[in-house]
Chains A and B, each alone.
Chain A
Amino acid sequence: MAGRARDPGFFVGYLNTVPRPLAIFLVVVAAALVGGMAGLAFALGTNANDPGDGTFARKLGKQEMTGVLLEKPYPILRVRPDAKNPEARTVMLTVPGKRSVKRRGRKLFGQLVDVKGFMFQRGDIDMLQVQGKKSLQAVEAGEGEPPPTFTPAPSEPLGRWRLIGEICDSKCHLGAMRPGDGLAHKACANLCISSGAPPIFVTQEEGAVAGETFLLMADEAGGPLPDHFGDYVAVLIQLEGEVERLDDLLVFKVDIDKAKVL
């Protein structure tokens, strides 16, 4: 090193005198470091996948619905049509945090209930986050009136389908997080689903079945997925199963062990 053509000077850290050529060099390196980091921040920061239009629709205000609360495959509400929403619909349910409606609704499954909360929305699929005091309770009969009833329409079979897509947790994917899919988000999705968020199958092809891209998942008997679903979450897989329609919500009943990772 002694043979360098031009001696930049010798740096001794605890001496506050830095030889001038070396000082100039170091200032250039410092500027390059700060500038380079800034450039990379901008490049990487703007380089985002489109996480979709899922959102926690607080601006819609608190929603109130009445319908039959069902436990399987995951907590859903078969909403009774009313003057404002004349079409029957089926809404997936969640509660704040990564928890299930099951605890709050355990005595109410199968009954007609009043539900209050806020919506998660993505495209034309939505989900209600049951939230607030008295937000989930059985519909009481008025004095002297017969108990109110509502029988949801039977499910409509749509045949057996082979679909390609990704298993996501409905809550994140519908707007609790953007992005709420992909492998970076896998552990979160696993945790959400095992904590009670309904898993949905997001088809790669837009509107793959009857115009729908999102299908609520169930096992072949219509119950929740088995505990080892986690291996197939967040990866692109091919699955076969029966598709049924509950009002506006499709249910994909599959044998998860037959999933093919693509």
Chain B
Amino acid sequence: MRTMSVRYAPVGWNRNKIFYDVVLLAAVVAYILLYIKIAPSFQDVTRPTSGAILRAQAFGTCAFLMLTFILCIGPLARLDTRFLPLLYNRRHFGVITCAVAFTHASTIVSIYFSFSPLNKYVAVLASNTSYDRFLGFPFETFGIFALFLLLVLAATSHDFWLRFLTPPIWKAIHISIYVAYAAIVCHIVLGSLQSKQSPLLAAVVGLSVIAVTGLHLIAGRIERQKDRNTAESASESTAEAPWVLAGQVDDIADGRGIVVALEDGERVAVFRYGDRLSALANVCAHQNGPLGEGRIVDGYVTCPWHGFQYRPSDGCSPPPFTEKAATYRLRLDGRRILLDPRPNEPGTHVEPVRVTPTSETEA
């Protein structure tokens, strides 16, 4: 039996996750070491930058770059399925980023805000109160806010919390990573960027903003276009209500699915496996992954994100798992697949539709 998630171990390790984390840590270690050990000897300065400030800069920029990459993974995977494996262990990426950001913050607190008569955490908030102006705004506030969000997300980035909070609430909380990114951009452009004479940091921040927002907008636009196309062809069908056209049998490869967008914006995954067809909601119960872009593995619809599995006929995960997806009724009209857009309760058995192979594929 494969292990999706049934018991809550701190981390369910496997070779892929280990490889993922090793690469991540290698990237972080390479970044920090190069920044604080190698790069300073190439600086054009009268006296070198203080070691602690260099460390704070290194960890701060590292966290920003990591967050940029994390945010690009989602839309990249929508645009090219080969990026999907990067999604699989993305939460480790997030937790490591949070640790790097935390190191940045604690370094700053220990050099800028310690050794005074004030408590160092009070000093962070009390030292600069020029909230009424842009130039000299206490940009630290944005950093603190973003770090708080990152800590909440890191602390809840475990399937225990996903189950405890329920996926909709968990997802809603984790959307705040976008807010954290925006806060970090503000933190940098009102702080470090104002002090830098060279345009390099501005260019890096600019490219990050362009990459992150651009990829999200492009991926969103392509998806909307795809939805509109399938919704149009579904509604153009001559089938009597409530049935809509889901597609052609011969358009679905064996073991694969198609995604049908309904007029109300919901999506349905129609799978073909052998001589049978079944339809499930296109939403994985785990993290809302797009089931229709998954495959049939060992007879189960398998989510492309984290490999959660569902029986195509009733949307139930194989025991001991308890995840369920809504099912839909299908029927055939020649080679056309018709779909009843009203979902059944998750876990409702629907007899799969039998298809005969086409004459040209089967002698």
Contact = CB atoms under 8 A, between A and B. Distances in A.
Direct contact of A and B (CB under 8 A): yes
Interface of A: 1-2, 4, 8, 10-16, 18, 22, 25-26, 29-30, 33-34, 37-38, 40-55, 96-99, 177-179, 181-188, 190-192, 194-195, 230-231, 233-235, 261
Contacts of B139: 183
Given A182-B195, A191-B112, A52 B304 contact: no
Contacts of B133: 231, 261
Return the 6 tightest CB-CB contacts between A and B, nearest first.
Answer: A45-B39, A182-B195, A97-B115, A98-B116, A13-B88, A188-B112
Given A33-B69, A34-B26, A97-B115, A8 B82 contact: yes
Contact of B118 (A52, A185, A188, A191): A191
B145 interface: no
Nearest to B4: A14
Given A45-B58, A178-B53, A50 B17 contact: no
Interface string B10-48: 001011110100010011101111111011101111111
Interface of B: 2-4, 12, 14-17, 19, 23, 26-28, 30-36, 38-40, 42-50, 53-54, 57-58, 61-62, 65, 69, 81-86, 88-89, 111-118, 123-124, 127-130, 133, 135-136, 138-140, 190-192, 194-198, 200-201, 204, 252-253, 256-258, 293-295, 297, 302, 304, 306-307
A40 B135 contact: no
A37 B124 CA distance: 30
Nearest to B272: A2
Given A26-B85, A182-B194, 18 more contacts: A2-B253, A10-B295, A10-B302, A11-B85, A13-B307, A38-B34, A44-B57, A44-B200, A45-B54, A47-B198, A49-B196, A177-B111, A178-B50, A185-B195, A188-B113, A194-B127, A230-B128, A231-B130
A190 B127 contact: yes
Contacts of A1: 81, 293
A190 B128 contact: yes
A89 B32 CA distance: 44
A2 B257 contact: yes
B128 A40 contact: no
B47 A14 contact: no
Contact of B47 (A13, A52, A96): A52
Nearest to B259: A1
B39 A46 contact: yes
B195 A52 contact: no
Given A29-B86, A41-B31, A98 B197 contact: no
Contacts of A47: 196, 198, 200-201
A26 B73 CA distance: 13
Contacts of A99: 115-117
Contact of A178 (B26, B48, B82): B48
B295 A191 contact: no
B337 to A, nearest CB: 14
Contacts of B295: 10
A2 B252 contact: yes
A51 B194 CA distance: 15
B65 A40 contact: yes
Contact of B297 (A10, A34, A55, A231): A10
Contacts of A184: 191-192, 194-195
A260 to B, nearest CB: 12
B47 A40 contact: no
B200 A18 contact: no
Contacts of B17: 13
A191 B89 contact: no
A4 B123 CA distance: 57
A104 to B, nearest CB: 13
Contacts of A96: 115
Given A48-B49, A261-B135, A97 B116 contact: yes
B112 A2 contact: no
A96 B116 CA distance: 10
B74 to A, nearest CB: 15
B65 A37 contact: yes
B111 A49 contact: no
Given A51-B45, A187-B112, A187-B124, A11 B117 contact: no
Contacts of B28: 37
A190 B133 CA distance: 16
Contact of A40 (B31, B81, B113, B114): B31
21 contacts: A2-B252, A8-B82, A13-B89, A14-B2, A16-B15, A18-B16, A22-B85, A26-B85, A34-B23, A40-B31, A44-B57, A44-B61, A49-B45, A51-B45, A51-B47, A53-B47, A177-B50, A177-B111, A191-B127, A230-B127, A230-B128
A4 B304 CA distance: 15
B14 A14 contact: yes
Contacts of A186: 128, 136
A230 B16 contact: no
A12 B195 contact: no
A26 B135 CA distance: 43
B42 A46 contact: yes
Contacts of A182: 194-195
Nearest to A24: B82
B35 A15 contact: no
Contacts of A234: 136
B116 A179 contact: no
B297 A12 contact: yes
A18 B19 CA distance: 12
B327 to A, nearest CB: 21
B310 to A, nearest CB: 14
